[in-house]
Amino acid sequence: MRKPVIPKRLVAILTLAVSICLSLFVLYTPKPSAEEQNFSSTRALTYIKEISQESHSVFASDAHENVRMYIKDTLTGYLGAENVRQYNYPISEFTTETGEIRNILGVIPGKSETAIMLVGHYDSVEGSYGAADDGYALGTMLEIADLYKNQNLENTIYFLFTDAEEMGLNGAAAAADEQDLMSKVGFVINIEARGVSGPVYMFETSQNNKKVIDFYRQAQLPVSYSMATAIYQVMPNDTDFSIFREAGKTGINFSVLGGLDHYHTPLDNFQELNSSSLQHYGSQIVPLVDDFVKDAKYSDVHYFDANEGSVFFTLLPNVFVSYSQTAANIIHIAVLILLVAVTVYMLRKRLAQFRKTIGNLFIFLGTFVLSVILSLGFACLTAAIGHVEYYPTFVIVNGSEWATLIFMLIVTALVYVIYARCSKSLEKQRTFLFYGISFQLLLALITGFFMPGASFLFLVPALMGTFSLAASLQGNVIVKHLAYGATTLFSILLIVPCLYTFFLALTVGMTPVLVAILLIHLTVLIPVLRLHMHVEDGTEDSSLRQTDSSDS
């Protein structure tokens, strides 16, 4: 009598469902706080409310001056007039306009002059109230200044409020030329906003960031992906941090990405702010400031200098994984050796069907290419419907989030159906899993050489997929469930937040890239899911063999 397969399929489906549910919490943001002794988004919002009453670009002289005086007066009240300085520079050094650029520096002195420098710009673009860009920075910095005033610190804190960032990073450029100031800066934290809501991403670091990332691990609810930092450094976008990074300073850059349609528009106003996002700035930045100012080891201004970088990603809330590029290379080689060993075993035992799957493999590859082409058409059509010009990294259309999600679900379903038709026997399942692992491992090796920060996105599925492939060759049901379940879990925890993040940052215009990344992940995820749905004592369910008599 044929054994029922529903319970086995149910385990696989439940594993998939739980993994998807957990992935929705990876980018969790904290509840707003009003605590007196800790960072409070409630208090920080009071500063932003004052700052964002009017559009305050460099060219709106009265509003711009009001914001400058508010920041200077508030800092003076907290730190004392002797610890607040203003640096004036002729604006003609950077543009044909007349007037001055005025940076404000607040200082909380420590026993050592070596400082951690928090940076935010106080000008907005014309027409925007600057509540998020860069009110989030101003509110965060003033709140931290209040928290640490009058404390006996080992190291110093600088609060640099730059002017004319929106004109071309001019205030930061002027500050970077202040050698007496910059020679004492050991670490830079730049605070930005490319939106108004959602999780706060640490989206950029300085080069050779091994020690930087070790330091960042102390943040609460850290959200960062080394792939994002790798991609950002080859994009044309710049912030004040670009200036300090080019000046040789180590540090990190933070930003929210949700609500990109508010960016540089009148929608960037106080009513649209998200207090949970603001609290997330504090939960990540304050632990870093606290550690820096209380540990004498950071008095060495070159403490964060390193000779290599790190690969890193957020797996779950407060579960941040990082390892050096050297370790990444070792893992790549180890996975390659393991895959070769498993492949040799399959060939000797005739547990795979490479020749019989070549034709189906080309069908699958054709589906991949067709899906990417269709996704480009989808992106262009979305831009046309929204009456905006198509640009790969900036297509803002209301409702495009749901449309993109539905499109990607349809693509996933199509690929699943085609895969199920092309690999009906157990041996074909293993063979296609081998192809998927090999493809992802190849991408991990390539990116590990040219763009190391991106390698984890392919290495993790390749590693877990290899374990699943090995598990499929033995008869222990528990081992199979654990291997298949872990592969599903880790793949989903990586791919869902990453795709969401890239969509926020790059918009619907980059749908072809998002679809390509999704399909790459499905080359391991779908075969593992199919194997998981047919787990049986000893070997996978015999119905897999019976469905394709030609493979007998």
546 vs 374 pLDDT, higher one: 374
**Does 256 lie in the same domain as 334?**
no
Q: Looking at mean pLDDT, say which of 227-231, 423-427, 496-500 comes out highest.
A: 496-500
Looking at the fold, whether 299 and 415 belong to one and the same domain comes out as: no
Mean pLDDT value across residues 53-69: 93
Residue 529 shares a structural domain with residue 406: yes
Domain assignment present for 156: yes
Is 32 part of a structural domain of the chain? no
pLDDT at 143 over 50: yes
Give the pLDDT score at 100. 87
Query: Which positions ≥6 away from 247 have C-beta within 8 Å?
Result: 176, 182
Q: 522 lies in a domain?
A: yes
Tally Cβ neighbours within 10 Å of residue 315.
17
Residue 537: is its pLDDT beyond 50? no
The verdict on residue 313 lying in a domain is no
Whether the predicted pLDDT of 542 surpasses 60: no
Asked whether the predicted pLDDT for residue 107 surpasses 80, the reply is: yes
Structure tokens of 415?
């690929």
- The answer to whether the CB of 186 falls within 8 A of the CB of 114 is yes
* DSSP secondary structure of 179-234: HHHHTTEEEEEEE--SSSEEEEEEEEE-SS-HHHHHHHTTSSS---BHHHHHHHTT
548, 428 Cβ separation under 8 angstroms = yes
Average pLDDT of the chain? 90
Terminus-to-terminus CA distance in the chain, angstroms? 20
Confidence of residue 98 (pLDDT cuts 50, 70, 90): low
Same domain, 239 and 340: no
Name the nearest CA neighbour of 364 among 424, 428, 432: 432
Q: Which amino acid is at 518?
A: L
Cβ atoms within 10 Å, residue 387: 7
Q: How far is CA 187 from CA 122, 249, 250, 288, 370, in A?
A: 21, 7, 5, 10, 47
CA 199 to chain centre: 10
- DSSP element (H, E) containing 104: strand 100-108
Which residue has better confidence, 546 or 207?
A: 207
- Radius of gyration of the chain from Cα atoms? 26
**Helix 354-385 with 426-450: angle, nearest 10 deg:** 60
Q: Are 133 and 184 part of one and the same domain?
A: yes
- Does 338 share its domain with 303? no
Which CATH number covers residue 47?
A: 3.40.630.10
pLDDT the model gives residue 233:
67
Burial (0-12, 13-18, 19+ Cβ within 10 Å), 518: buried
Q: What is the 3-state secondary structure (H, E, C) of 71-85?
A: HHHHHHHHHCHHHEE
Kindly state whether residues 156 and 274 are assigned to the same domain: yes
* Residues 492/498/500/501 CA torsion (nearest 10 deg): 160
Q: What is the pTM of this model?
A: 0.91
Query: What local confidence, expressed as pLDDT, does residue 420 receive?
Result: 85
25 within a domain of the structure (yes/no): no
Mean pLDDT value of segment 30-57? 94
Give the tens place of pLDDT for each residue, 268-308: 999 999 999 999 999 999 999 999 999 999 999 999 999 99
Same domain, 250 and 338: no
Q: How far is residue 460's CA from residue 163's CA, in Å, rounded to a whole number?
A: 43
pLDDT at 96 over 60: no
- Residue 536: is its pLDDT beyond 70? no
Residue 465 has pLDDT above 50, yes or no: yes
Find the range with the poorest average confidence among 8-12, 61-65, 189-193, 493-497. 8-12
Q: Are residues 255 and 393 in the same domain?
A: no
- With cut-offs at 50, 70 and 90, classify the pLDDT of residue 7: low
Are residues 340 and 292 part of one domain? no
Higher pLDDT, 538 or 350: 350
Residue-level pLDDT at 547: 43
Least confident span in 236-245, 351-360, 480-489: 351-360
Q: Which residues of 134-143 are buried (b: 16+ CB within 10 A; e: fewer)?
A: bbbbbbbbbb
Residues 60 and 201 in one domain: yes
The torsion of the CA quartet 487, 491, 492, 496, rounded to 10 degrees, works out to 180
Co-location of 192 and 333 in the same domain: no
Contact by Cβ (8 Å): 87, 102:
yes
pLDDT digits (tens, 9 = 90+) for 119-139: 999 999 999 999 999 999 999
Q: Is the pLDDT of residue 548 over 50?
A: no
Q: Are 154 and 294 in contact (CB under 8 A)?
A: yes
Inside any domain, residue 149: yes
Nearest of 103, 210, 236 to residue 159 by alpha carbon: 103
Q: How many domains does the chain have?
A: 2
470-479 mean pLDDT? 90
pLDDT of residue 197 exceeding 80? yes
DSSP 394: -
Are the C-beta atoms of residues 470 and 434 closer than 8 Å to each other? no
In a domain, 178, yes or no: yes
State mean pLDDT over 28-55.
94
Helical H runs in 296-352?
A: 325-349
Give domain status of residue 2, yes or no. Answer: no
Q: What is the DSSP letter of 126?
A: T
Residue 104 sits in which domain range? 41-307
Residues of the chain with pLDDT > 70: what percent?
93
Per-residue pLDDT of 147-164, as tens digits, reads 999 899 999 999 999 999
Q: How far is CA 33 from CA 30, 55, 277, 398, 412, in A?
A: 9, 28, 11, 31, 40
> Please, which residues bridge with residue 312 across strands?
322
Which residue, 248, 275, 307, sits at the end of a domain?
Answer: 307
Cα 349–chain centre separation: 43
With bands split at pLDDT 50, 70 and 90, how would you rate the model's confidence at 551? very low
Structure tokens at 454: 């991106």
Number of neighbours of residue 238 by Cβ within 10 angstroms? 15
Domain closes at, from 247, 282, 307: 307
In the block, tokens 């897999």 appear at 544
